[in-house]
């Protein structure tokens, strides 16, 4: 299957307040962001023409920028409005949205205080991250070589481009070995997350999930915690040791891309797709198709 490159497509991208033809949305090779990772972004899904949890994503984009000393020139309401306009301009019914903010090319060096802050929003039709069969039978995870860093060494509460370098490397290595993804530990050796999704363990009818103190507290993660508690399922947020996987009856991932996806393998551990995971898949899929609850 030939790939359709993302710089050569039809459609429109909102950039710095203007709706541009897709191919005209460009940045210079000497942009600060390309050399020094001064870039933050978001990812959100569109269901039935509506962006799920839009305002929460816009708020997080601005908060991530603040952590990287990137003051976005737009407020939450403006980003929400631009996102809706971009979805409408491209006629997206079910798809993906990528808002991104970065430092431009006014300065070249570690310091970038005088660089202009650019903001762009793109959206496109995007199928589920994992196949329907994978969501039914579960996916396979390898152990990642790299670990999530100590918050004293990086702005780990941000959704920053630089923090994804080890995710790309880990996912490449896992896929080369025939796995779907990789599970990362944190700097202390506790279970953290997959390369782009949070993780939940089902143990004796309760859901256990790592405390997000050095990685993102995902918006889908928080949504699933709410769905589980609404059903009376106890959710325990704590530090989880890798050896505790032996006690888990089931495991699943959550994320904008992954949505809710069961796991059948993590390294040497094997799991069945269980009742908690199946219920969360069903509840999440139902929630995202409820228009009245899309913007929350």
pLDDT at residue 119 tops 90: yes
Cβ neighbours for 126, distance < 8 A, ≥ 6 positions apart: 45, 95, 96
Give the max Cα distance, the chain: 56
Of 197, 200, 163, 165, the closest CA to residue 181 belongs to: 197
- The average pLDDT across 75-92 equals 98
Rg, Å, the chain Cα set? 19
Tell me what the mean pLDDT of segment 29-41 comes to.
Answer: 98
**Burial grade of 123 (CB within 10 A; 0-12, 13-18, 19 or more):** buried
Task: List the one residue out of 99, 91, 97, 95 whose CA is nearest residue 120.
Answer: 99
Average pLDDT over residues 262-276: 96
pLDDT band, very low/low/confident/very high, at 136 (cuts 50, 70, 90): confident
Name the average pLDDT for the chain: 95
Spatial CB neighbours of 141, under 8 Å, sequence gap ≥ 6: 174, 179, 180, 181, 182, 183, 194, 263, 265, 266, 267
pLDDT in tens, 157-215: 999 999 999 999 999 999 999 999 999 999 999 999 999 999 999 999 999 999 999 99
The model's confidence at residue 292, banded by pLDDT at 50, 70 and 90, is very low
Query: Which domains are present in the chain?
Result: 12-124 (3.30.470.10), 132-291 (3.20.10.10)
In this predicted structure, what is the pLDDT of residue 2? Answer: 61
Length of the chain: 296
pLDDT at 295: 45
Q: pLDDT band for position 103 (50/70/90)?
A: very high
Under 8 Å between Cβ of 177 and 142: yes
- Give CA 210 to chain center in angstroms: 16
Catalytic residues: 159
Predicted confidence at residue 294, as pLDDT, reads 44
Q: Is the pTM of this model over 0.85?
A: yes
Q: What angle do CA 139, 40, 46 make, to 5 degrees?
A: 55
Distance between CA 100 and CA 103 in Å, rounded? 11
């Amino acid at each position: 299957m030939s790939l359709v490159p993302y710089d050569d497509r039809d459609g429109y991208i909102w950039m710095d307040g203007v709706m541009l033809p897709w191919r005209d949305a460009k940045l210079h090779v000497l942009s600060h962001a390309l050399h020094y990772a001064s870039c933050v972004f978001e990812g959100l899904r569109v269901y039935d023409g509506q962006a799920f949890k839009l305002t929460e994503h816009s708020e997080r984009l601005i908060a991530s920028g603040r952590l990287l000393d990137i003051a976005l020139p737009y407020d939450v309401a403006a980003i929400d409005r631009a996102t809706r306009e971009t979805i409408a301009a491209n006629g997206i019914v079910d798809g993906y949205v990528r808002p991104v903010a970065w430092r431009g090319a006014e300065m070249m060096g570690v310091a970038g205080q005088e660089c202009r802050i650019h903001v762009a929003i793109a959206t496109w039709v995007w199928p589920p991250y994992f196949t329907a069969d994978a969501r039914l039978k579960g996916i396979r995870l390898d152990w990642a070589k790299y670990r999530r860093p100590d918050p004293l060494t990086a702005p780990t509460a941000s959704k920053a481009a630089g923090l994804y370098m080890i995710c790309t490397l880990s996912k490449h290595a896992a896929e080369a070995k025939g796995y779907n993804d990789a599970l990362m530990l944190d700097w202390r050796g506790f279970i953290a997350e997959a390369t782009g999704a949070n993780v939940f363990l089902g143990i004796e009818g309760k859901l256990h999930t790592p405390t997000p103190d050095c990685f993102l507290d995902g918006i889908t993660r928080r949504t699933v915690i709410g769905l589980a508690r609404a059903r009376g399922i106890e959710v325990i947020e704590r530090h989880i040791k890798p050896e505790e996987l032996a006690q888990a009856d089931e495991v699943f991932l959550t994320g904008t891309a992954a949505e809710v996806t069961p796991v059948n393998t993590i390294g040497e551990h094997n799991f069945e797709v269980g009742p908690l995971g199946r219920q969360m898949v069903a509840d999440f899929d139902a929630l995202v198709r409820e228009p009245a609850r899309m913007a929350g």
